[in-house]
Amino acid sequence: MRPLSIAPLALLALAACQSAGTMPSSAVAPAPVAAPAPAPAAAPAASAAFDPAGKWSLGLNAMGQQLEVALDLYKLSDGKWAGTVSSAMFPPFPISEATLTGKRMVISFVAPTGDPAKITLDFDGDAAQGEWTMAGDGSKVVGRRNR
């Protein structure tokens, strides 16, 4: 009688396992696993909107004379801006409309002469500069917030 050789039987069993997909885990290389995509970087926090509320002292030229103007700005509960414009030469009168876009505010009002007027201010912290205009008059404006 001839001795049985195990080698051909082992090869036969291995081939059967490969075709059936039941190969022992030690004989099969694991499938590559893709690394998870990195999480997107968090967007920087939006900077808070500039708030020009407060009492401002503005210097300008009106009718050829240097004039110190007080501007009092505040925000209403509906989000609109309101306030007054005054000086030593005239009593406070209301702002008709004020629109803030970024750090620029356009303020409309009726001047003491009865003419419509406008002040445009670019804010930089507690400093402001811009211009004012009305029919036949206007100049550069510079100012500071007094709080």
Residue 9 predicted with pLDDT over 50? no
The pLDDT confidence band at residue 1, using thresholds 50, 70 and 90, is: low
Domain limits at 92? Answer: 54-145
Asked whether residue 77 is assigned to any structural domain, the reply reads: yes
Q: Are 123 and 105 in contact (CB under 8 A)?
A: yes
Asked whether residue 7 is assigned to any structural domain, the reply reads: no
In one letter, which amino acid is 51? Answer: D
Q: Could you tell me the pTM of the whole model?
A: 0.67
Asked whether residue 28 is assigned to any structural domain, the reply reads: no
Residues 69 and 64: their CA atoms lie apart, in Å, by 15
Average pLDDT value for residue range 135-142: 95
H or E segment to which residue 17 belongs: helix 6-20
Q: What local confidence, expressed as pLDDT, does residue 90 receive?
A: 87
Count how many domains the chain has: 1
Question: How big, in percent rounded to 5, are the helix, strand and coil portions of the chain?
Answer: 10, 50, 40
Asked whether residue 129 is assigned to any structural domain, the reply reads: yes
Asked whether residue 116 is assigned to any structural domain, the reply reads: yes
Q: What is the pLDDT of residues 119-136, one digit of tens each?
A: 999 999 999 999 999 999
Residues 127 and 97: their CA atoms lie apart, in Å, by 21
Asked whether residue 1 is assigned to any structural domain, the reply reads: no
Asked whether residue 98 is assigned to any structural domain, the reply reads: yes
List the CATH number of the domain containing 68. Answer: 2.40.128.120
Q: What is the pLDDT of residues 19-33, one digit of tens each?
A: 555 545 555 555 666
Q: Are 59 and 140 in contact (CB under 8 A)?
A: no
Pair of tokens at residue 34: 């893709």
Asked whether residue 21 is assigned to any structural domain, the reply reads: no
Smallest Cα–Cα separation from 120: which of 135, 136, 138? 138
Average pLDDT value for residue range 58-85: 95
